Each structure stands twice: as structure tokens, then as C-alpha cells.
């Protein structure tokens, strides 16, 4: 397991549609474990494989007491509508209210290779949808109005100059408990 660098806005892999996982191998499980470790180190509620430079359909989420690995995830059902503020480990310091379905049913394969079904709402449903978007090359900025998106991208570009690395090294947390 290792904490992996996170790709930032502008890195082409964030715009790639990810390929399905054919089989849950040891390599897949190791990647899942490294993604958990990276998400924890970055203090995120979710992380998609694109964000660590691999366009394959794997993501992890840790929200509202649920800690899940999602391999080949799909939203089987969605209902309601809710707007809440979102951020993204690949777009540091940018936050905006995003409207998404409020309740979802997730179907995915777990780290153990077994398919599962999960009903979710609140932050968990939001995090799952945000990560699945990543696997389709979609960022939360794409879910905003064009005007709002332009403003936020401009703000981001002001703070992250051209030529700056598109990789963010995440420090392993030291002495963090819980
Ligand atoms: Zn994100």
C-alpha cells in the first residue's frame, strides 16, 4: 500500500472515460488499498482511480459510516433532488453547490469480488455520484452553470499558475488518530 500523488485539474486522465475491470485480481485489491490510504491521507470522502492516474472503473468512498470500494459501479435507481456544497481533491480550494439526485441505489462489485447493492442518501449518495462521474471523465464543475463554472475555473487558474505540476503529493498523516 502507498499514498499516491493525486492528479489535478488540467491532467488529461481526469477527462478519460475509464475502462471496466474484467477481474478482481491481487493487483486490483492492492490498488483499492492504496486508494483508501491516499483518500485518508488527503482527508477526502472519496477517490476515483482517474485521480491517481489510472483510467479504470474503481473508486472508494468513506462517508456517513460507510467505507466502500466500488468496482464497475452503476447507479441503478435515482430519485429526488438536493443541492449541497461539493469540493474535489483534484481541484483544491474550489467549492460550489451542486444539484444531484438525493437518493440512489448503487450496484457495484466489492474488493472481495462480490457484487453488492447499496441504498444511499445524503452525503454518501453525493460522494458515490461524484466518484462515478470521475470514472466517466466528468468533474463537479461540469454540473454547474457555464457562468459559475467559468468564474471558478478562472479563480483556480489565478491560484494555480500555468506550468505548475499537475500532480499533488499527499503527505502521509502523522499521529492522526481515529
Ligand atoms: Zn472529485
Q: Which residue ranges form the domains of the chain, and what is each CATH number?
A: 6-168 (3.90.45.10)
For residue 99, pLDDT over 80 is answered with: yes
**Any alpha helices (H) in 80-177, and if so which ranges?**
122-135, 146-159
Coil, helix or strand at residue 117 = strand
Instruction: Give the pLDDT of residue 86.
Output: 97
Whole-number Å distance, alpha carbon 62 to ligand 1 midpoint, is 13
Catalytic residue chosen out of the listed positions 23, 43, 64, 131: 131
**pLDDT tens digit sequence for 72-81:** 999 999 999 9
For residue 9, how many other CB atoms are within 10 A of its CB?
A: 18
Whole-number Å distance, alpha carbon 66 to ligand 1 midpoint, is 18
**131 has catalytic annotation:** yes
**pLDDT tens digit sequence for 28-49:** 999 999 999 999 999 999 999 9
pTM of the model: 0.94
177: cell is: 488518530
Whole-number Å distance, alpha carbon 45 to ligand 1 midpoint, is 9
pLDDT band at 1 (very low <50, low <70, confident <90, very high): confident
Whole-number Å distance, alpha carbon 175 to ligand 1 midpoint, is 26
Amino acid at each position: 500500500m502507498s499514498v499516491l500523488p493525486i492528479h489535478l485539474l488540467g491532467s488529461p486522465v481526469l477527462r478519460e472515460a475509464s475502462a471496466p475491470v474484467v477481474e478482481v485480481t491481487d493487483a486490483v485489491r492492492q490498488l483499492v488499498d492504496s486508494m483508501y490510504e491516499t483518500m485518508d491521507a488527503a482527508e477526502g470522502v472519496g477517490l476515483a482511480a482517474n485521480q491517481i492516474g489510472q483510467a479504470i472503473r474503481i473508486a472508494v468512498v468513506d462517508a456517513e459510516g460507510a467505507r466502500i470500494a466500488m468496482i464497475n459501479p452503476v447507479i441503478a435507481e435515482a430519485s429526488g433532488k438536493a443541492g449541497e456544497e461539493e469540493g474535489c481533491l483534484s481541484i483544491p480550494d474550489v467549492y460550489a453547490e451542486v444539484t444531484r439526485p438525493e437518493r440512489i441505489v448503487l450496484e457495484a462489485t466489492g474488493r472481495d469480488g462480490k457484487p453488492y447493492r447499496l441504498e444511499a442518501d445524503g452525503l454518501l449518495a453525493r460522494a458515490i455520484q461524484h466518484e462515478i462521474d470521475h470514472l466517466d471523465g466528468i468533474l463537479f464543475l461540469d454540473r454547474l452553470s457555464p457562468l459559475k463554472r467559468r468564474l471558478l475555473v478562472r479563480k483556480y487558474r489565478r491560484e494555480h499558475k500555468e506550468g505548475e505540476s499537475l500532480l499533488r503529493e499527499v503527505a502521509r498523516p502523522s499521529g492522526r488518530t481515529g
